[in-house]
Structure 1
Amino acid sequence: MKNLRAAIGTPSAIIAFEAAGRHMNFSNAAGELNVSQPAISRQIRNLEAHIGRPLFIRRGNKVRFTEQGQLLFEATKESFRNIIAAVEQIADAAYDRTIKLQSQPILLSTFVLPVMVELQRAFPDFFIDIQASENDVPVDDERPTIAILYGDGNWPGMRSELMFSDIYFPVCHPLLLKGMRSADPADLFGRLPLLQVPNFIDPWMEWRRWGEHFHIKGLMTKRPQFINDYEVLLQACRSGQGIAVGAVHLVREALAEGSLVRITELTVNSDFGFHFVYDPRSLQKGRFADVLSWLRDRAEETRQRCQAMLEDDHVRWQPR
């Protein structure tokens, strides 16, 4: 039995023939395949020469099959249909084994990426696609998606589960405190520059709110340096440019490595936090529920580590 190349010559010729036969127009076939019309004509002439029989009867711009061309087209059409169906079946199977993880870049880098190796090891037959997105990007409801979003838990049409609530406290680079002799908040905030994210969803990110709550006048009148991205704000804070409101789950590693320190005992518990957000229909797909459960466990471990961090005296600054 001949192989395909021996029977038809180049595979591109049979692709051109099938497209031309389906359209009954060489120009339309060329447009579909993104080649020129002469290229289609040349491929079909080569195929006819290889087979030794004409496949089309050409009359100006119109074509129709010869008897041999009709026979070959019926076989080609059925074969191509089977190939397309098989490819779609394979793609659907891969699609069913893919889960998208969607979140802001800062949380991907602090929570998702550190556990990715373990996650892939736990689910070796699954593909985990990571997508960095803004917090207000809609959750994909066409494919299984676990979004990690910041807010109050209200995402209409979606199910949300609290990962961990935010706990806030002031932080800065330790060198910024060089020469400071007092841990009095009024003195610290009065002398050191402030960094702030404007228009943040949680009002506790505003220094004015801290001033009103803790009765620190300097925080109600002093203008902070505004930076509209929290990850960039933390980079500025770690480089010694000012004091920032630290969210414990996002500054934990910086506290552990010593690039940030807590500067006072002032702490607030937020009504906002990070949530797993997903379409509840996804729970019926593949091992979506198992992956979600695995991530819940990792979130609980992170919450416990953060709680331990809050009780660690080594991450607090003490005046000398």
Structure 2
Amino acid sequence: MTRPAPPPFPWLRAFEATARHLSMTRAAAELNVSASAVSQQIAALEAYLGRPLFTRANRRLALTPGGALMAPKLGNALNLLHEAIDDSLPARRQQSLQVKVTTSFGSQWLMNRLDGFRQLHPGLAVQVSATAEPIESTRSTAEIEIRYGTGDWPDVAAEKLVDEFIFPVCHPKLLRRKPPLKSAKDLHRYDLIDVPGYPQGWSDWLRAAKVSVDWMKHRIAVDQSIMAIQLALAGKGVALGRSPLIQRELADGRLVAPFTLKLDTKAGYWVVHRRRSSEQRKVLAFKNWLVSEANTPAIGLTKARNKSSRS
């Protein structure tokens, strides 16, 4: 059976850009057209499909279930289309893309997923460099950076990848020890693994749990989150988990979260690049892939706001 002809390419491109940004204005700026043109193209695509792709409430866009299903597949299809065109051109040297990331996020989040990008873009060599310092405070020649913070950096384009929630995590065997770890008040019997330097940490979580912070002196301090995770995995104490960094360990049961309280730090990880670099196809391809990966639900991890700890 012959498939119907696909809708016009400008309609698809307008939808993909708007779905990625959740903003017709930003999509229009990327595509170098007016926001009105983007709106008309999306309306035409919705009419063609016979269903809405976005909901609009309080001047905010959100994808419908059908739109959310279509957006990442279309983004990958457009990237493959660009690659097919490149492959038909005269042979070129393999392109490379320089990416800079914090050590913990790179090892715990990015590197676990990078093979997926390599499969989609075999002609693009990704060179990743990691640093334990805040990336914005270092001299960087990277074309893309993944920074931690609230996104308020001047002179760069920043798009949030993941939010951050903090909550205690430990090895399952600690739950079987005596004294028991049944409530947040029991934490004073255990070593708390701490990573000083974050804007919010153990003292904030304990206050949210309505527990005294006077016994914070009983702690193990390390200078990187990856070290705190390793100590928790070894059963050396209770670490303050940061949601983007412990997805694997929670999913496979090597770490558990004994309490339900998850504190929103209002910070997160952002993909950052120079504004003009958005015109480079390789930068846009990697950014789109990162956003698509970040929008994939994390296994074994549920965000929660303002929940009370177990009593």
TM-score tier after normalising by the smaller chain length? 0.5 to 0.7
Structure 2, unpaired ranges of 5+: 1-91, 304-309
Judging by fraction of residues, say which structure has more helix. 1
Q: Secondary structure at the match of 2:158?
A: strand
Max Rg structure: 1
Q: Secondary structure at the match of 1:179?
A: coil
Q: In the alignment, is the contact (CA less than 8 A) between 1:165 and 1:271 conserved in 2?
A: yes
* Match of residue 215, structure 2, among 212, 215, 221: 221
TM-fit CA distance, 1:146:
1.4
Q: Secondary structure at the match of 1:233?
A: helix
Q: In the alignment, is the contact (CA less than 8 A) between 1:166 and 1:269 conserved in 2?
A: yes
- Equivalent residues in 2 for 1:93-112, closer than 5 Å: 94=93, 97-112=95-110
Task: Kindly indicate whether residue 155 of structure 2 is the aligned counterpart of residue 157 of structure 1.
Answer: yes
Structure 2 distance, partners of 1:227, 1:291, is 32
| Aligned twin of 1:262 | 257
Query: Which amino acid counterpart does residue 179 of structure 1 have in structure 2?
Result: K
| Aligned twin of 2:116 | 118
Query: Which amino acid counterpart does residue 274 of structure 1 have in structure 2?
Result: Y
Q: In the alignment, is the contact (CA less than 8 A) between 1:149 and 1:277 conserved in 2?
A: yes
C-alpha distance 282-94 of structure 1, shift in aligned 2 (>3 A): farther
RMSD value, Cα: 2.7
- Equivalent residues in 2 for 1:110-259, closer than 5 Å: 110-138=108-136, 145-177=143-175, 178-181=177-180, 183-186=182-185, 188-200=186-198, 202-203=199-200, 205=201, 207-217=202-212, 219-223=213-217, 224-259=219-254
Q: Secondary structure at the match of 1:154?
A: coil
TM-fit CA distance, 1:180:
4.3
TM-fit CA distance, 1:235:
0.7
TM-fit CA distance, 1:236:
0.8
C-alpha distance 189-130 of structure 1, shift in aligned 2 (>3 A): same
Structure 1 distance, partners of 2:103, 2:131, is 7
C-alpha distance 173-152 of structure 1, shift in aligned 2 (>3 A): same
Q: Secondary structure at the match of 1:222?
A: helix
Structure 1, unpaired ranges of 5+: 1-92, 312-317
- Equivalent residues in 2 for 1:63-78, closer than 5 Å: none
Q: Post-superposition, which runs of at least 4 consecutive aligned residues in structure 1 deviate over 4 A?
A: 138-143
Q: Over residues 122-145 of structure 1, what are the superposed CA-to-partner deviations in whole Å (9 max), with x where a residue is unaligned?
A: 1122121111123423477756x1
TM-fit CA distance, 1:213:
2.6
Structure 2 distance, partners of 1:292, 1:140, is 21
TM-fit CA distance, 1:240:
0.9
* TM-score, length basis structure 2: 0.62
Q: In the alignment, is the contact (CA less than 8 A) between 1:211 and 1:220 conserved in 2?
A: no
Query: Which amino acid counterpart does residue 120 of structure 2 have in structure 1?
Result: A
